[in-house]
Structure 1
Amino acid sequence: MTVYAFDETRRLLICTWDTGLGCVAAGVAELPLTATREDALRLADTLTGLSRQLWRTYTHPAGATDSLEVNTEGWRRQGEHDAFGTVIQALKEPNLPKDGYLTQSYIRVEEAAHRVGRALHKFDDAALAEQVIADVEAELGAVEHAERGDLSERAKQAVMLTRADASPLQVNAAHDLFREQPIGSEKLLHEVDPTAAAVAAAHWLQAAATISAGLMECDPSEVVVAADELEALAVETPTRVLERLGSGETPRDVVLDLIRTAMTAAEGRIADTTSLPDQARISLLDPLRPAHDLLEDLLDGIHGCRLLFHEYSEYDDDPEELAERLDVEFEAAVRAEAEANQDRLR
């Protein structure tokens, strides 16, 4: 999300967001000399709160729920997104205290916009209001671009968020990055949505495990455990993913289930109470950063498959040239396997 702050030295309202490679900042508006420090900080705080609610509609889309029927979670999420259309009007004409009472909305996006509007109202400055409104319009546009799978410019901050759904456009973008480098690359961590990247990574892990398992003459679900004996790796999560993929589940279904379970845990709830007796943790993933945690573990699993390929391949090459040749062969074999089963990503 975008964080707003008050630069006291320049009396400037600024905003900043993380791009995955670092944070960028931009000026929003100069504050009038009559503005108090308290009012400036309140405006920055309410804008940050609005951004948080706007981006929550991205991370928690209505389409990731089971139903949109009235009073369901999906219905509430859809209501939050529908409130995008009320934001600018709320900034211009916020609900203000009247006769000791204040009307507040149950819709978090709408109420967050009214809070910004009330903070702006304290300044009574048309130029400031115009600049803040322009920035909020840019924030609304960034969320909508991210929803469409376009993570350019301000929407780039989506690479730092975990989403309970995966854009097909972003899955394809991650898949293309794996085509270039089947063992994964840093671009997966800061150029694409992490949930979508994890979907593609699960597919490529299955391909890599199939290649290594062929050399070892074992089940693909056993390869990460075996590779852990060669080098310390994340074992539990990639192994569980391989087991589920081996049973016929798709990469998308497995990844979204794991991530949604972790997101539910982050909210203090348990996604499936019947699973508790069978597992030590309520989530395999870090609830604070589930998509990134999963992506890192899956890439670790692919690295383990590479280690096994080196260990079990027969060769009589010059040792100095061997590693490079085996990497080329491993990547070619994994690429061919992944492409041959590309329909699993649909």
Structure 2
Amino acid sequence: MGGNSRAGASGERHLARAGRIVAVTIYAFDETRRLLIRTWDTGAGCVASTVAELAESAVLDDALHLANALTGLSRQLWRTYTHPASAAASLETNTEGWRRQGDRDAFDTVIDALKSPNLPQDGYMIQSYIPVEEAAHRVGRALHQLCNPALTEQIVTDVQDELAAVEHAERGDLTGRARQAVCLTRADASPLQVAAADDLFREQPTGSQKLFTEIDPTAAAVAAAHWLQAAADVAADVAECDPADVVREADDIEALAVETPTHVLERLEAGETPREVVLDLIRTAMTVAEGRIADLEALPDLIEDAITWSEQSRPGEEDALATSQPRITLLDPARPAHDLLEDLLDGIHGCHLLYSSYSDNDDEDEDIDRDLDEAEIEELTERLDAQFANAVRTEAAANQNRLA
């Protein structure tokens, strides 16, 4: 193995493995200034703005009820983005896909529900079985309670903007208010967003922070899987190992996320496409997040693995929540797309480490293990970084059809 760990120090690690509270547009009431405000995450931080000023006569509980109802409506609207009908197995009547399509079709009813909500009559009230529609009626009832026509018009305008933001995100346009989509996990990937992520990788094959702040994370993960495969092929060539083993090999140089990128590489090597692998992993984690079993056929094996692990663990040696404990999904169910993207980028970093450790230098007769001064180390690092980046770009371009 040529060189040592100094080659792995090239470039600054661009990832911060921090959990994120996934949310959509959050509404709140500023009691001091009597302002209804909204805020959402952009991936780089949260932004906030004023929606409306409430009258002095407005009761606090009514204002809070309106803010809560608007947040609930936003959550239902964005769920049609994260759980599109296109990602369901069927659109036949009474299937999950059919229900999702019903929610999306209900966008056309939202504004009318805000202006003319279902209200209690003779002790009864009509409620919609369609979550988007019912969420809109709840906002309408909150507005009815406040009885302020000017406020209603302001809320209508704001909700129209929210509807437009979801529609823009669906088309792959994550600018403006639609940028909050970068903080959400979607069960499908926009071809436009995959292409945009691919362009970012072409600029910087090891990845960049823009993948987290400008791109839908599911689409970014699809592109990342393609570039991981290219990086693994390049690293495996110089390390003379199987491409599926490169991250395990690199883990001996620097601690890495090994399990997920290796799993992805094994499936890609078996012939699956980046899109197929990524969407399967993400959809499985999203199903688990809802408390449902993603794969009934795999359940017996999961139970057997858990029993084996439990029998092999002895008190005092293993924490019940240790990372070695069998998992029901490779990804964090709370943020699966971001978790996968981070792991794939970690895998690419591992490929870079392995390539740098094994690559020959231009001066083959020079003993590269001798003490190098700071300028020589920097020159060597830059040269290996450029070589790796160019080789990965060439490999990715030669197999661009994987992303088709």
Same fold (TM over 0.5): yes
**Counterpart among 215, 238, 257 of residue 280 in structure 2:** 257
The C-alpha deviation readout for 1:287-314, integer Å capped at 9, x for no partner, is 0000000000000000000000111011
Q: Determine whether 1:323 maps to 2:378.
A: no
- CA shift, 1:66, in A, is 1.3
- How far apart, CA to CA, are the structure 2 residues paired with 1:299 and 1:270? 28
Alpha-carbon distance in 1 for matches of 2:76, 2:378 = 55
Corresponding residue SS for 2:146? coil
Stretches of structure 2 that go unaligned for 5 or more consecutive residues are: 1-23, 303-325, 367-375
Q: How far off is 1:277 after superposition?
A: 4.0
CA offsets 1:321-346 (integer angstroms, 9 cap, x no match): 11110000000000000011001001
Q: TM-score, normalised by structure 1?
A: 0.99
Q: Indicate which of 208, 211, 218 corresponds to 2:231.
A: 208
User: C-alpha separation between the residues in 2 aligned to 1:281 and 1:269?
Assistant: 14
Amino acid at match of 2:138: R
- Counterparts of 1:1-346 in structure 2, within 5 Å, are 1-279=24-302, 280-315=326-361, 316=363, 318-346=376-404
Partner Cα distance (2:378, 2:287) in 1 = 49
Structure 1: distance between partners of 2:164 and 2:335: 24
CA deviations 1:144-190 (Å, max 9, x no partner) are 00000000000000000000000000000000000000000011111
SS in 1 for 2:205: coil
Instruction: Render the CA deviation track for 1:95-122: whole Å, top value 9, x for unaligned.
Output: 0000001111110000000000000001
Q: 1:6 to 1:197 in 2, by over 3 A?
A: same
**C-alpha distance in structure 1 between counterparts of 2:93 and 2:299, whole Å:** 30
Q: CA deviation at 1:9?
A: 1.2
Q: Deviations over 1:7-61 (max 9, x none)?
A: 1111111110000011111111110111010000000000000000000000000
Matched residue type, 2:336: P
Q: Aligned-residue CA RMSD in angstroms?
A: 0.9
Cα distance, 1:320–1:97 mapped onto 2, change above 3 Å: closer
**Following the alignment from structure 1 to structure 2, what is the Cα–Cα distance between the partners of residues 270 and 184?**
33
How much does 1:320 deviate? 3.9
Identity of aligned residues (%): 73
Deviation at 1:204, TM superposition (A): 0.1
Show CA shifts across 1:59-90 (max 9, x none).
00000011100011000000000000000000
CA distance in 2, matches of 1:77, 1:273: 23
User: Which amino acid is the alignment partner of residue 42 of structure 1?
Assistant: H
Aligned equivalents of 1:277, 1:217: Cα separation in 2: 37
Q: What CA distance in whole angstroms lies between the structure 2 residues aligned with 1:164 and 1:295?
A: 14
The CA distance in 1 between the partners of 2:296 and 2:261, in whole Å, is 23
Deviation at 1:278, TM superposition (A): 3.9
CA–CA distance in 2 between the matches of 1:225 and 1:276?
27
**1:204 counterpart letter in structure 2:** W
In 2: Cα distance, 1:33 partner to 1:271 partner:
51
What is the TM-score normalised by the length of structure 2?
0.85
Deviation at 1:135, TM superposition (A): 0.2
What SS does the corresponding residue of 1:122 show, helix, strand or coil?
helix
Q: Aligned pair count?
A: 346
Q: Please, which runs of 5 or more residues in structure 1 have no aligned partner?
A: none
- Displacement of 1:276 in angstroms is 3.0
